[in-house]
Structure 1
Amino acid sequence: MKLDTKQEFSQWMFQVLNPLKPLYSRGCARLHLGDSGVTYPKTSIEMEAFSRPLWALVPFWFGGGTGFEEIYQKGLKNGTDPDHPEYWGGFGDYDQRFVEMAAIACGLIFTPEKVWEPLGETGKENLANWLYGINEHIIPDCNWQFFMILVNVALKKLGRRYNEERLESGLSKIESYYTGEGWYRDGGSSQKDYYISFALHYYGLIYAKAMEEDDPDRCLRFKERAVLFARDFLYWFDKNGAALPYGRSLSYRFGEAAFWSAYVFAGLDDIPLGVVKGIISRHISWWMDQKMFDRDGVLTIGYSYPNLIMAERYNAPGSPYWGMKILLCLALPDDHPFWKAEAKELPPLSEIKLLKQADMLMHRHGSDVISYPAGVCEKYGHGHVPEKYSKFAYSTRFGFSVARSQIILHENAPDSSLAFVIDGDDYVFVRKYSDSYEVLEDRVISRWHPFPGITVTTTIVPKEYGHERIHEIESQYDCMAYDCGFSVEKFTEGYEQRAEGTKSSVSYNKQGCHVSGKGPEAKGIVIEADPNTNVLYPNASIPAVVYRIKKGEPIRLETRVETYM
Structure 2
Amino acid sequence: MTYDPATANPLFGNPLKTRADVEKGLRDLFQPLLPYFSEGRARVRLDGAGAHFDRAAADLEGFARPLWGLTPLAAGGADFDYWDYYRQGLANGTDPEHPEYWGEVNSTDQRMVELAAIGFTLRLLPHLVWEPLPQKAKDNLAAYLKHARQFNYADNNWKFFRVLVDLGLEECGVDFDSSLTEKYLEELDGFYIDDGWYRDGNVRRIDHYIPFAMHFYGLIYAKLAKGDDARVQRYKERAALFARDIQHWFDEDGGTLAFGRSLTYRFACGGIWGALAFADVEGLPWGVIKGHFLRHLRWWSKLPIANRDGILSIGFGYPNLFMSESYNSAGSPYWALKAFLPLALPADHPFWAAEEEEAGFDDKPVPLKHPGMVSFHTPGNVVVLSSGQQNWQMRAGAEKYSKLVYSSRYGFSVEVDERAYPQGVFDGALAFSDDGRHYRTRETNEKAQIAGTTLHAVWKPWNDVTVETWLLPANPWHIRVHRITTPRPLHATEGGFAIGRADLNADTLTEEKGRGVASSATDLSAIVCLVGGRDGRVLRALPNTNLIVSKTLVPQVRGDIAAGTTVLVTAAMALPAGAAADAALRNPPRAPDIAELDALFAREGIDVSAILVPERF
1:507–1:513 Cα contact (<8 Å) kept = yes
User: Could you tell me which residue of structure 2 aligns to residue 511 of structure 1?
Assistant: 523
Residue in 1 that maps onto 2:103: 89
| C-alpha spacing 1:129/1:411, structure 2 compared with 1 (3 Å) | farther
Partners of 1:411 and 1:364 in 2: how far apart?
A: 30
Q: Deviation of residue 515 (structure 1)?
A: 1.3
Matches within 5 A, 1:330-369: 330-349=343-362, 351-369=364-382
Q: Distance in 1 between matches of 2:239 and 2:200?
A: 15
Q: Give the Cα–Cα distance (whole angstroms) in 1 for the partners of residues 538 and 30 of structure 2.
A: 42
1:104-503 mapped onto 2 (5 Å cutoff): 104-211=118-225, 213-349=226-362, 351-378=364-391, 380-409=392-421, 411-422=423-434, 424-491=435-502, 495-503=507-515
Range with bigger deviation, 338-347 or 241-250: 338-347
Once residues 300 and 361 of structure 2 are traced to their aligned partners in structure 1, the CA distance between those partners, rounded to angstroms, is 24
What's the CA shift for 1:521? 4.8
The aligned amino acid for 2:516 is S
Mapped contact 1:521–1:548 kept (Cα < 8 A): no
1:66-77 equivalences in 2 (<5 Å)? 66-67=79-80, 68-77=82-91
After TM superposition, the score normalised by the length of structure 1 is: 0.97
Q: What per-residue deviation string (whole Å, max 9, x for no partner) do you get for residues 9-53 of structure 1? A: 111111100000111000000001011121001100000100000
Partner of 1:8: 21
Contact 1:400 1:534 in 2 (8 A): yes
Q: Distance in 1 between matches of 2:495 and 2:17?
A: 41
1:93–1:138: 8 Å Cα contact kept in structure 2?
A: yes
**2:448 and 2:455 in contact (8 A); partners too:** yes
Are the counterparts in 2 of residues 135 and 163 from structure 1 also a CA contact under 8 Å? Answer: no
CA distance in 1, matches of 2:241, 2:47: 40
1:11 aligned partner, one-letter code: K
Distance in 2 between the 1:7 and 1:554 partners? 62
Q: Do the aligned partners of 1:520 and 1:549 also contact (CA within 8 Å) in 2?
A: no
Alpha-carbon distance, 1:5 to partner: 2.6
Whole-angstrom distance in 2 between the partners of 1:430 and 1:180: 31
In 2, Cα distance between equivalents of 1:494 and 1:433: 38
SS of structure 2 residue aligned to 1:44 = helix
Long gaps (5+) in structure 1: none
Asked whether 1:543 is paired with 2:555, we answer yes
Which amino acid is 1:91 matched to? V
In the alignment, is the contact (CA less than 8 A) between 1:108 and 1:116 conserved in 2?
yes
- Separation in 2 of the partners of 1:348 and 1:419? 33
Q: Secondary structure at the match of 2:426?
A: coil
Give the deviation of 1:541 after TM superposition.
1.8
Counterparts of 1:53 and 1:145, CA distance in 2: 21
**TM superposition shift of 1:436:** 0.4
**Per-residue CA distance 1:280-330 (angstroms, 9 max, x = gap):** 111111101001100000000000000000101101000000010000000
1:410 CA drift (Å) = 5.4
Q: Return the alpha-carbon distance in structure 1 between the equivalents of residues 467 and 426 of structure 2.
A: 16
Who is 2:574 aligned against? 563
Q: Which residue of 1 aligns with 2:596?
A: none
Contact kept? 2:120, 2:168, Cα under 8 Å: yes
SS in 2 for 1:127: helix
Report Cα offsets for 1:326-368 as digits up to 9, x if no partner: 0000000133233232211113456200011221110112332
Distance 2:423 2:312 in 1: 27
Quote the Cα distance in structure 2 between the aligned partners of 1:6 and 1:437.
44
3-state SS in 2 of match to 1:171: helix
Work out which of the residue numbers 34, 42, 52 in structure 2 matches 1:21: 34
CA positional deviation for 1:375: 3.7
> What is the SS of the residue equivalent to 2:46?
coil
Confirm or deny: 8 A CA contact 1:29 1:76 kept in the other structure.
Answer: yes
SS at 1:357 equivalent: coil
Q: Percent identity?
A: 37
For normalisation by structure 2, the TM-score amounts to 0.89
Structure 1 segment 15-54 matched on structure 2, within 5 A:
15-54=28-67
Please list the CA deviations of residues 138-194 of structure 1 after superposition, one character each: whole Å capped at 9, or x if unmatched.
Answer: 211110000011112221232212121211110011111111110111111221111
CA distance in 2 between partners of 1:406 and 1:543 (Å): 20
8 A Cα contact 1:353 1:441, kept in partner: no
2:523 is aligned with 1:523 = no
Counterpart amino acid of 1:511? D
Q: What is the letter of the counterpart of residue 85 of structure 1?
A: P
Q: How far apart are the structure 1 equivalents of 2:134 and 2:40?
A: 17
Q: Distance in 2 between matches of 1:520 and 1:228?
A: 42
| 8 Å Cα contact 1:152-1:163 kept in structure 2 | no
Greater alpha carbon shift after TM alignment, 252-261 vs 77-86: 77-86
Question: Quick one: distance in 2 between partners of 1:494 and 1:353?
Answer: 37
Q: How big is the shift at 1:504? A: 1.0
Q: Which moved more, 1:366-375 or 1:486-495?
A: 486-495
Post-superposition shift, 1:482?
A: 1.0
The separation in 2 between residues aligned to 1:187 and 1:518, in whole angstroms, is 40
Mapped contact 1:2–1:282 kept (Cα < 8 A): no
The alignment partner of 1:481 has SS state of strand
- The alignment of Structure 1 onto Structure 2 pairs a total of residues equal to 561
Contact residue 307 and residue 532 of structure 1 kept, 8 A:
yes
> Does the C-alpha gap of structure 1 residues 490 and 500 become closer, same or farther in structure 2, counting only changes over 3 Å?
same
Cα RMSD (Å) of the superposition? 1.4
- SS of the residue corresponding to residue 219 of structure 1 reads helix
| CA deviation map 1:80-103 (0-9, x unaligned) | 111111111101311000000111
- Stretches of structure 2 that go unaligned for 5 or more consecutive residues are 1-13, 577-617
Residues 533 and 348 from structure 1, CA distance in 2 versus in 1: closer, same or farther, beyond 3 angstroms? closer
Tell me if the contact between 1:5 and 1:340 (Cα under 8 Å) persists in the aligned partners. Answer: no
Report the Cα distance in structure 1 between the residues aligned to 2:215 and 2:191, rounded to whole angstroms. 11
| Amino acid paired to 1:403 | E
SS at 1:118's partner residue? coil
Structure 2 Cα separation of the partners of residues 268 and 90 of structure 1: 38
